[in-house]
């Protein structure tokens, strides 16, 4: 029997390693109270004009990078939220960690990354503090397709 207007809720699940690149599976934790995310892929494209192409340009994608922008609320006491906000003055290896994204389909992306914390708190006097940051790939991510159902 078809159901109209009712869709199952499938969430994106984002986890970061709270012990940096040395994080184990049990140290990959969700970041509570994220409200928005925006993935972006930046491709490096090489172009050339071959004489045999009649003036048409040829192209090849020779590299890629992946980044995610996140915004949400600052949740004091949440291990994932505290970890990201705690990177306020860190640089170099201090902001390197592991990121895992489980998509609503069940597919999973895992990557080494660096975290660029852009807003560790702040807002109007009657608002909950904000938390904003970027996760930037550091090397090639691993992608696991969604499980197939028979």
Which DSSP helix (H) or strand (E) runs through 114?
strand 108-119
How many other C-beta atoms can be found within 10 angstroms of the C-beta atom of residue 58? Answer: 11
Instruction: Give CA separation, 79 vs 66, 71, 84, 85, in Å.
Output: 25, 17, 9, 10
> How many Å apart are CA 127 and CA 56, to the nearest integer?
55
Which pLDDT value is given to residue 148?
Answer: 82
> How many Å apart are CA 34 and CA 127, to the nearest integer?
15
Which pLDDT value is given to residue 10?
Answer: 63
Query: 11, 14, 31: which is closest to 100 by C-alpha?
Result: 14
> How many Å apart are CA 31 and CA 81, to the nearest integer?
5
Which pLDDT value is given to residue 1?
Answer: 44
* pLDDT by 10s per residue, the chain, length 150: 444 455 455 689 999 999 999 999 999 999 999 999 999 999 999 999 999 999 999 999 999 999 999 999 999 999 999 999 999 999 999 999 999 999 999 999 999 999 999 998 888 888 899 999 999 999 999 999 988 866
Q: Give the gyration radius of the chain's Cα atoms.
A: 20
Which pLDDT value is given to residue 123?
Answer: 80
């Amino acid at each position: 029997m078809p159901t109209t207007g009712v869709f199952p809720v499938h969430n994106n699940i984002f986890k970061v390693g709270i012990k940096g690149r040395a994080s184990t599976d049990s140290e990959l934790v969700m970041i509570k109270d994220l409200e928005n995310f925006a993935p972006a892929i930046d491709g490096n494209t090489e172009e050339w004009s071959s004489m045999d192409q009649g003036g048409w340009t040829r192209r090849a994608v020779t590299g890629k990078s992946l980044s995610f922008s996140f915004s949400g609320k600052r949740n004091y006491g949440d291990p994932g939220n505290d970890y990201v906000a705690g990177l306020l003055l860190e640089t170099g290896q201090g902001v390197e960690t592991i990121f895992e994204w489980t998509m609503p389909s069940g597919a999973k992306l895992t990557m080494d990354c660096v975290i660029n914390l852009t807003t560790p708190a702040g807002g109007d006097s009657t608002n909950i503090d904000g938390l904003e940051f970027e996760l930037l790939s550091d090397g090639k991510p691993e992608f696991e397709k969604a499980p197939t159902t028979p």
